């Protein structure tokens, strides 16, 4: 599948931009906030909630961070105005993490405080290995300041992830909140799993570990082996739809969250499975990216993980398997 994926990536890069845009419309809400709001309103009828991501990440100077600061302020206002069940996803590097750590902390803290005024959660997306520790450190620091409306993403392909789960859960107790996923960044085999089943097995073990340690498990996967494992693990721990979180090491109520867990999926991917989970009563969240940088986002995702191209092929030739 890897060779085929790289073949599709090569073809896609040679396609005219407008043709790429035709495919990207499935996975990106649009170029502006208005488009994202429209998508969320439509999918709300299917029982979905959302996490909104303004496209763009690592910046070259701090002035560029101002765009993200201002745009996320607009996203917060839109969520409140339209009464959307949504939170935020941000890239720490877009706020200056690799340029000026202190300034990045200041920018992110400002956003968290604004979001907290309306009980809106903020997820720190996990980028490549250079910023794994700095991103986790931000979460710990913000919780020490009393800002508990923040969590991070952890990538199961990294060997360090089990230790990161235990460490974060120990430091911020039951307020640890993770989006756990395979991870799109193709890291070196020295620090990460590189084969499909190794990554899936790691992800399944990390779901168990988060549940055992009282963390909130945002299970971000489209893989049936992972979803089925998660359902079994939840049942084993007496967790599930319409049930209170029974774990003594987890807080009883998290605003805008499920009973200790939720399922997350990318916009445009495996909508049939998401709708089935929602119908069964599980909280399901859709990742909604938007922005002018949709092309760069699409190309970078394909570069980092050519296997993502398989979803492109399926959407073109077997659209019934991959409805929004």
Q: Distance between CA 281 and CA 47 in Å, rounded?
A: 9
Six token digits for residue 130: 């250079």
Q: Which helix (H) or strand (E) holds 199?
A: helix 196-212
Active site residues per annotation: 125, 179
Q: Distance between CA 47 and CA 45 in Å, rounded?
A: 5
Answer whether 155's CB lies under 8 Å from 185's CB: yes
pLDDT, tens digit, 9 for 90 and up, residues 195-207: 989 999 999 999 9
Six token digits for residue 25: 């419309």
Six token digits for residue 187: 């890291």
Share of the chain above pLDDT 70, in %: 81
Question: Strand (E) positions, 61-215?
Answer: 86-90, 122-124, 150-155, 177-181
- DSSP of 159-173: TTHHHHHHHHHHHHG
**Which pLDDT value is given to residue 7?**
62
Question: How many CA atoms does the CB half-sphere of 222 hold within 13 Å?
Answer: 19
pLDDT, tens digit, 9 for 90 and up, residues 279-288: 999 999 999 9
pLDDT, tens digit, 9 for 90 and up, residues 223-264: 999 999 999 999 999 999 999 999 998 876 788 899 999 999
Q: Distance between CA 75 and CA 81 in Å, rounded?
A: 10
The model carries a pTM of: 0.88
Q: Which helix (H) or strand (E) holds 25?
A: none
Answer whether 288's CB lies under 8 Å from 29's CB: yes
Sorted by where each starts, the structural domains of the chain and their CATH numbers stand as 1-27+302-324 (no CATH), 29-290 (3.20.20.220)
Going by their DSSP bridges, the two strands 284-290 and 48-54 should be labelled as parallel
Give the pLDDT of the chain (324 residues) as one tens digit per residue. Answer: 456 556 655 666 566 555 555 555 668 898 999 999 999 999 999 999 999 999 976 788 999 999 999 999 999 999 999 999 999 999 999 999 999 999 999 999 999 999 999 999 999 999 989 999 999 999 999 999 999 999 999 999 999 999 999 999 999 988 999 999 998 777 889 999 999 899 999 999 999 999 999 999 999 999 999 999 999 999 999 999 999 999 998 876 788 899 999 999 999 888 899 999 999 999 999 999 998 765 666 555 555 555 555 555 555 555 554 455
């Amino acid at each position: 599948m890897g060779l085929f994926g790289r073949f599709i990536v090569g073809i896609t890069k040679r396609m005219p931009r407008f043709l790429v845009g035709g495919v990207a419309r499935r996975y990106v809400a649009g170029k502006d906030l208005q488009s994202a709001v429209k998508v969320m309103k439509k999918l709300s009828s299917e029982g979905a909630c959302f996490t909104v991501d303004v496209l763009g990440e690592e910046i070259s100077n701090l002035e560029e961070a101002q765009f993200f600061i201002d745009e996320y302020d607009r996203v917060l206002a839109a969520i409140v105005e339209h009464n959307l069940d949504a939170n935020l996803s941000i890239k720490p590097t877009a706020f200056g993490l690799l340029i000026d750590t202190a300034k990045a902390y200041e920018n992110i803290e400002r956003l968290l405080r604004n979001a907290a005024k309306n009980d809106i959660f903020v997820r720190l997306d996990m980028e490549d290995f250079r910023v794994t520790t700095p991103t986790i450190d931000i979460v710990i620091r913000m919780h020490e300041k009393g800002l508990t409306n923040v969590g991070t993403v952890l990538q199961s392909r990294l060997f360090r992830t089990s230790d990161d789960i235990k460490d974060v859960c120990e430091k911020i107790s039951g307020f640890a909140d993770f989006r756990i996923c395979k991870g799109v960044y193709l890291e070196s085999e020295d620090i990460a799993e590189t084969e499909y089943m190794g990554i899936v097995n790691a992800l399944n073990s990390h779901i168990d570990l988060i549940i055992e340690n009282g963390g909130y498990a945002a299970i971000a996967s489209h893989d049936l082996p992972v979803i089925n494992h998660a359902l079994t693990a939840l049942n084993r721990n007496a967790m599930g739809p319409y049930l209170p979180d029974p774990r003594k090491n987890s807080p009883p109520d998290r605003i805008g969250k499920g009973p200790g867990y939720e399922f997350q999926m990318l916009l445009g991917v495996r909508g049939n499975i998401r709708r089935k989970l929602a119908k069964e009563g599980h909280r399901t969240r859709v990742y909604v990216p938007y922005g002018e940088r949709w092309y760069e986002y699409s190309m970078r995702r394909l570069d980092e993980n050519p296997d993502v191209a398989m979803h492109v092929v399926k959407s073109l030739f077997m659209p019934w398997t991959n409805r929004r």
